[in-house]
Structure 1
């Protein structure tokens, strides 16, 4: 077994690689390069190889396995990528291709799962007694999630474990690219909230400004928008609690910076939870920021 863990966060605009000391989790080396996804699938593979080779030269450490955080999911049956917003990856046998290209074992999970894994093992939930099940939430330009049980990602039979962004919350809501309407993502992701504010007010504002106006009590439309967020979040996350009942939920993404989610948002869950109106789940802010993906990727190869 190698003394080092290698992880790659594969994003639409950048690829980041990290080398960690297995025993201490100390960062040995870390580097980012541009993905250049517009040049196609094979070019992305070549960029990954270039990045890894550069860190091998820098550290004189060769990987025996590499974990990948990906902007989509490896289909467990077909062994090809799906649901990638870097669309040239869809339908490609990426795990197989990377294993052959790099000559090492490759493990993969989508970015939300890697976020959840990193926050469970190295971040916000680390050291919390009894935190066997951690649900990681992404609420930003989209909505996603990941499930970690006893330090391992629960990918699920279809590879879509934790994908709460595409549970229908409003049947008559906005159409979603997934083919349904009124998904969580179309109700309380950042862009969805901004569209809602514009619809009721006639003006466009960023979510940060909407929240500040709500706190100041100067804009009834801003208050209506934040109220929509808090209630929708409570309804949506109560379904996760009712089904999965995680010990800890870590909120990530830009929308998670709204502090009222951790107070009033959690309180409203009482109206929907199947637990005598008691919410005992621990809700936490993330500790690793945009580093979660690459740390989670390295955790995959432990």
Structure 2
């Protein structure tokens, strides 16, 4: 395969990339609006429009395209689930795209594509890592597992979905039907609600963190301490099960530098390895590009 084609399907934008497979040179990156408010069939037509534009501008015709999606293709039903672009749920998107584009389609959710991109092109590229776990901690919490350069989607298509492991059985109700999921404990909005519950004041996480660093607000410090402990408990379960060589942290919460020092230090309290943590924790290198790069990498596997 001379060129790798990837599409990152977001709620507001659809981005397509074409990469020279051997050199990694980017031939083109192109975006158009998703216009998701017009419904599922319109999203499919927008994808077709974008692919045609890229074909015309590059003179290259794809033989396969990888898609990063805001949800998961159910392996049994072959329909989409868990999509925050809700009109996609229950739809046979892979089948519809194959019929529209007449080529092989590979799909993975955005967290899996993030993990794959950082494992093969980004932060863990040169570390000879057999197992890489990619973490998303932002508005929500998610993750992806990559083993020997391949995404492990799992029997149900939910491989790596650590955001909905219950951390606090008495915690806040989650849309998934459980309570106290990781996402409801230490995603950005959850931390902001935690701080508000302590202080009676609404602040963005960035400001809460700065107040902690400035030693000016005990409620901010309590919130960041809560994050460190919760993160350590949650990620230790991943280490105890998968024992990854590398964990790459992404999403807005991952910009808190203390996660890579104090957060990792606290894992010693929960890991089944005589309090010794050798897992390498890294910041991502690809930023917002991880989704589309990971999508392109899907067709190489």
The aligned residue for residue 139 of structure 1 is: 137
Deviation at 1:237, TM superposition (A): 0.0
Deviation at 1:67, TM superposition (A): 0.2
Instruction: Please give the residue correspondences for 1:1-302 in structure 2 after superposition, counting only pairs within 5 Å.
Output: 2-129=1-128, 131-302=129-300
CA deviation vs aligned residue, 1:201-238 (integer Å, no higher than 9, x gap) = 00000000000000000000000000000000000000
In 1, the alpha carbon distance for the partners of 2:33 and 2:234 equals 35
In 2, the alpha carbon distance for the partners of 1:202 and 1:83 equals 33
In 1, the alpha carbon distance for the partners of 2:217 and 2:285 equals 32
Partner-residue secondary structure (3-state), 1:158: coil
In 2, the alpha carbon distance for the partners of 1:120 and 1:291 equals 13
In 2, the alpha carbon distance for the partners of 1:199 and 1:228 equals 13
What CA RMSD, in Å, does the superposition of the two structures yield over aligned residues? 0.4
Partner-residue secondary structure (3-state), 1:271: coil
Deviation at 1:128, TM superposition (A): 0.3
In 1, the alpha carbon distance for the partners of 2:193 and 2:31 equals 33
In 1, the alpha carbon distance for the partners of 2:126 and 2:218 equals 42
In 2, the alpha carbon distance for the partners of 1:198 and 1:276 equals 37
Partner-residue secondary structure (3-state), 1:218: coil
In 1, the alpha carbon distance for the partners of 2:25 and 2:120 equals 14
- Scaled by the length of structure 2, the TM-score of the pair is 0.99
Partner-residue secondary structure (3-state), 2:67: strand
Partner-residue secondary structure (3-state), 1:224: helix
In 2, the alpha carbon distance for the partners of 1:15 and 1:140 equals 20
Aligned residue pair count:
300
In 1, the alpha carbon distance for the partners of 2:150 and 2:183 equals 26
In 1, the alpha carbon distance for the partners of 2:180 and 2:11 equals 26
Deviation at 1:142, TM superposition (A): 0.1
Deviation at 1:94, TM superposition (A): 0.4
Q: Structure 2: state its 5+ residue gaps.
A: none
Partner-residue secondary structure (3-state), 1:52: helix
Deviation at 1:91, TM superposition (A): 0.5
Deviation at 1:93, TM superposition (A): 0.5
